[in-house]
Amino acid sequence: MLQFIYSQLIRLLLPFILVRLWWNGRRAPELRRNWQERLGMVSPAEGAVVWVHAVSVGETIAAGPMVRRLLARNPGITILMTAMTDTGLAQAQKMFGNQVRYAYAPYDTPGAIRRFLNRAQPKILVIMETEIWPNMIRQCRNLRVPVFLINARLSERSARGYERVKGLAAPIMKSISWVAAQAEKDAERFRRIGVAPGKVDVTGSVKFDVDIPESVRQASIDLRERLKGRPVWVAGSTHGGEDAQLLAAHKKVLKVHPQALLIIVPRHPERFEPVAEKIVKAGLSLARRSRGDDPSEAAVYLGDTMGELMMLYGASDMAFVGGSLIERGGHNPLEPAAWGIPVFSGPHVFNFETIYQRLLNDSGVKLVADSDELSNHVTQLFENEAERQAIGSRALSVVEKNRGALDRVVDGIIERV
């Protein structure tokens, strides 16, 4: 009954969702492109199709090494990557070019999912992390398409939420074929909300298997040379509510290190313009990457392009990972850690609790309470290169010693196909 009510509510909301899509498309025309795919009308696929669903940019990046490994192990398969957001698809296209196929994920109505499955005919569905849509999983079960949750994580807060709607959640969880959980705590929570114990394995996080292509390494070297030896720190994946704090921190850093540069990279492209305005209003000189501005003399360099955060981390001396000074839950700290640079985050990192705990255990990350504490640490590390390198080495060591989840995940997928 709850599944029926959920489906009817989604159907009722669909016209409003489409109107909102059209409305938002006035400023971002890419949102209107291929909108039919959101109703399941995708081009038919050929061969053995592995459907990889990653909700947005972060999950798409995490899926990258897995997709490359799957293609290397079985060149005959067709990878169909879907995302809910235009930025997620743009990131995938930048990573894979014509190696894989792309589409927007269908909205979670029975009809849209059924149309999608009938056209794409996937052999399996691989969902990155915990993007659980009831009709998506139910329709896959009806058509005997196995559903794998890969790199799966589940916070205690989310687990309690699923328990409150157990009548809806439990049948969906029982339909999942395999959960590759990041940690035992995640695995226990998935079992608690209804996934059969025999279908849950702890594989570790594939995000430790960070893949930095040579082209990205070279681009970071080229940018670093343009910065002429300036001290540089980057704030990546920032959200509303953090910008003012980060700019305030940078102003304090500039009092001690007047040549310092802050590279700030908003998480979502619709925030590029508002952040640019905040920088100017704060009285800081601005260079924008999208316009090809020279960052060598600016106080702040705005990373207002898509898919370049990894490169910008590599061009910096240390990194702050956003979504953590507010109660957003944080973002992936392993991307800067893989460059061997010090990593800072705010106190709210519950989305990546296992990863942060491993970094904290080895002193590979520093959690700061506010902008004052952040500016103090940045200032101190600019003054102490040896300490900066030591902290960065510890962060990189955590990444290196936790690699291996990717092989376990790919083996698990291939063995179950």
Annotated catalytic residues are: 59
Indicate the helix (H) or strand (E) that contains 80: strand 78-83
Question: For residues 135 and 116, is the Cβ–Cβ distance under 8 A?
Answer: no
Question: For residues 395 and 365, is the Cβ–Cβ distance under 8 A?
Answer: yes
Closest CA to 332 of 233, 249, 208: 208
Q: Is 314 left (phi over 0), alpha (psi -120 to 50) or beta?
A: alpha
Burial class (CB in 10 A: 0-12, 13-18, 19+), 247: buried
Question: For residues 72 and 145, is the Cβ–Cβ distance under 8 A?
Answer: no
Question: For residues 162 and 139, is the Cβ–Cβ distance under 8 A?
Answer: no
Indicate the helix (H) or strand (E) that contains 396: helix 385-401
Distance from C-alpha of 187 to C-alpha of 154, rounded to nearest angstrom: 8
Distance from C-alpha of 286 to C-alpha of 274, rounded to nearest angstrom: 13
Indicate the helix (H) or strand (E) that contains 264: strand 261-266
CA angle 330, 332, 336 (to 5 degrees): 120
Question: For residues 341 and 395, is the Cβ–Cβ distance under 8 A?
Answer: yes
| Distance set, CA 204 to CA 63, 191, 330, 333 (Å) | 14, 17, 19, 16
Distance from C-alpha of 365 to C-alpha of 343, rounded to nearest angstrom: 5
Give Cβ neighbours of residue 356 (< 8 Å, ≥ 6 apart). Answer: 330, 333, 345, 349, 365, 367
DSSP 85-140: SHHHHHHHHHHHGGGSEEEEPPPSSHHHHHHHHHHH-EEEEEEESS---HHHHHHH
Distance from C-alpha of 323 to C-alpha of 136, rounded to nearest angstrom: 28
Distance from C-alpha of 94 to C-alpha of 72, rounded to nearest angstrom: 19
